[in-house]
Structure formats: structure tokens, C-alpha cells
Structure 1
Amino acid sequence: MRKVVLFIACSLDNYIAGKNHEIDWLFTDRDYGYDDFIAGVDTVIMGRKTFDVAQSFGEYPYPDQKGIVFSRSKAGQKTQHVTFVDDDIAAVVQSLKAQPGKDIWLVGGAQLTMAFLQQNLIDEFVISVHPVLLGDGIPLFPAGFSRQDLAFENCQIFNTGLVQLTYSRR
């Protein structure tokens, strides 16, 4: 069965971006498993703010995956690569998981990730912890969701200091 995977990077102090959404601290010297991961994904889900950031880099970064963007302001619109929805998150996930296909990547951002956590919709967490302290910013896991017990799957340590942790939902 398809899984919803949160594949994301954060600082050692639990931020996914600086307070002004800056991500210049992310390592770009290699892919850290990204190529293998994206090859196993055929659907990406993100919030509108994350979509806007992705668009600011130029070309849409996930042209080979079906894109779903949760947005109240653009619901019902489509582009070449994404469909904007404002439907019930759990219903969308249930529908996607019922279809044949590869895994589903929850790209972010923080508000959408929180909604997925509140509804216990994330099956696997792949978190790349970068050796940097930001001191402030957008937290990976803000307070406000119920406890979720996880099972350890893997830990990969890179010589750059990046540690990639993989956990699955129990």
C-alpha cells in the first residue's frame, strides 16, 4: 500500500526555515538520498506557501510527479503540474492511498504538516538534521498535536555532519 512520507530537512534546533523563510543553510553538495527517494514517489502534496517558494526557484521542481497543493485561495485551479484543492485533507489522502501507485511525498509546509500530524496521516518520517542552529524560524513540529509513537527504521550519518533519521508510524 502507498505511504505518505514526510521527507524534510531541519536544523538541529528543529527549524525547517529561518524566520524569513530562508533556507540558505541547507546542504547542496550532494543529494543525501533524494534521487532514490523521489524515484519512489509519484505524488507530491504541499501547501500554497511551499508551492510559491518552489515556483520562485524557476522551473517547477517535481514535473514527473502528480502535484496537489492545498490552498483556500486557488482551490479548483490547475496548472500543468498541480491541482489546487481545498478538500478535507484526510479524504484526499484516503483517496490517494486507495489508488495504485508509488508513495506520496508530503513536501510541507509547516501548516499542512501540522494538519497531517493532527490527523495522524504521516506513515513515514525521513528527517535530515543539518548541523546548524538557527535560533529562530519556522518549526518542524510546532506544539498542538497528540502523541504519536514511532518505530525506528534507519539512521544514516554523513561525513558532512548531516544525520538522516527514518521512523515509521506504529
Structure 2
Amino acid sequence: MRRIILFIAASLDGYIARPSGEVDWLFTDQDYGYTEFLASVDTVLMGRKTYEQVLTFGEFPYQEKQSYVFSRDPGFDASPHAETVRTDIKAFVETLRQSNGKDIWLVGGAALIYPFLKHELLDELILSVHPILLGSGIPLFSETDLTTPLQCLASHCYDSGLVQMKYQVLKRGG
């Protein structure tokens, strides 16, 4: 079965973007394992807001990957870059996990991360914590009513001060 991995960056105070959605504070001085990670996946999943933010960066960066964008907006269409998913997240992802392929990257954002945690669809979390306090913004975890145990698999502190942590997501209650 294919694994679903959340590979994401956050500020030290837990924000993935400024209130406007801007990510101008992200470190770009090093690769931080991104290229190796990107080669390990062949499918990307993201929410509509994340998709729209990605489009502001220029050329769609995941053209070589199977891309899915989750949206409840009946007027939204992610083509030509991605397939729009409006069906039940859990059913869609469970079917996707059974298909052949490499690992699957849950790109974000916060509103999409919650149902993946709620339905125990996330296998691994790779979090790059940037040494900056934004003070406000879009939180990494938009809802906090879940207790989700994690097991640390690795951590690395870069000279820039960025700390990258890799966790296995454990099943709740067992």
C-alpha cells in the first residue's frame, strides 16, 4: 500500500503562511531534502487554496506528477494541471493508496490536513521548522480536537537554524 506523507514547512510559532497566504519567509538558501523527497513521490494532493497559491509561483511545479486538488466549490476546476476531487476524501484516498505507484505527497493546506488526520490517512509527517516567529497567519493545524500520537524517526538541524523532523503517524488508541 502506498504511503501518504505530509512534507511541509512552518514557522516556529506554527504558521504555514502569512494571513495573505504569502510564504516569502521560507528559506530558499538550501534544498533541505526537497529534491530527494520529490523524487520519491509520483502523486501530489492539495487543497484549492494551496493549489491557487502554487500557481502564483510561476510554472506549475508538479507537471511530472499525478496531481489532485480537493475542492467543495462546484465552479472550481484545477485543469489542465490537476484533477479536481469533490468526492469523499476518505474513500478517494483509500482507493488511491491501493493503486500502483510511489509514495503520495500531501502538499497541504491546513484545511485538508485535518481530515487526513481525522480519518487516519496520514502515514508520515516531515516538518521543516523555520526559525522565525510570524505572529499570525495560517496555522499548520486548523483544528485541534484530535490527539494524534507520533513517533520520531529522524531530526536534523541545519546551519541556517532550520530544524527538520520526520515522524511516523501512529494510530490513535492503539
Question: Contact 1:77–1:84 at 8 Å: present in 2 too?
Answer: yes
TM-score, structure 1 as length reference: 0.94
% same residue: 49
Structure 1, unaligned runs of 5 or more: none
Q: Cα offset for 1:75?
A: 7.2
1:133 aligns with 2:162: no
Equivalent position of 2:102 in the other structure: 102
Aligned residues: 170
Q: Which range moves more in the overlay, 75-84 or 4-13? A: 75-84
Q: Cα offset for 1:76?
A: 8.7
Q: How large is the RMSD of aligned CA atoms in angstroms?
A: 1.5
Alignment-mate amino acid for residue 59 of structure 2? E
C-alpha distance 83-130 of structure 1, shift in aligned 2 (>3 A): same
Question: Contact 2:71–2:85 at 8 Å: present in 1 too?
Answer: yes
C-alpha distance 79-142 of structure 1, shift in aligned 2 (>3 A): closer
Alignment-mate amino acid for residue 161 of structure 2? G
C-alpha distance 119-17 of structure 1, shift in aligned 2 (>3 A): same
Alignment-mate amino acid for residue 133 of structure 2? L
Distance 2:17 2:87 in 1: 27
Q: Cα offset for 1:164?
A: 0.2
Question: Contact 1:156–1:163 at 8 Å: present in 2 too?
Answer: yes
Question: Contact 1:114–1:145 at 8 Å: present in 2 too?
Answer: no
Alignment-mate amino acid for residue 39 of structure 1? A
